[in-house]
Amino acid sequence: MLFGGGNMAGGAKIKSGLTAIVRYRTRSKMEMPVLDINIGGCMVDARSWTVKPDERISVKLPGLGFIPASVVWIEGQRAGIAFEEALYSPVFEHLTE
């Protein structure tokens, strides 16, 4: 994992309004603002989310399909998500340019 404990190491400036669709539990989906992102995961605004650390989820970022991931931490109204596989560099650059 490339981050933890509420601190996104290597985070990048993200496009304004970047959102992720998160699918969890019984295939429920929720759209969440992305606050920070790196090739290994992201931090989202999780105000109305009821997941717990270590829960497996899928994340859909703009232009991509659902990516397997897991919740690493929850701190206040933010949650850290680790992708199972790192984002391909050109895809990451597109999300952050």
- pLDDT tens track, the chain, 97 positions: 344 444 444 555 565 588 999 998 777 899 999 999 999 999 999 988 888 899 999 999 998 999 999 999 999 999 999 999 999 999 888 888 7
Please say whether the beta carbons of 41 and 82 come within 8 A.
Answer: yes
Please report, as a single letter, which amino acid is at residue 1: M
Whole-prediction pTM: 0.82
Contact 58, 23 (CB under 8 A): yes
Q: What is the pLDDT of residue 7?
A: 41
Task: Give me the DSSP letters along 48-79.
Answer: T----TT-EEEEE-TTS-EEEEEEEEEETTEE
Cα end-to-end span (Å), the chain: 23
The domains located in the chain, with CATH, are 19-96 (2.40.10.220)
Sequence letter at residue 96: T
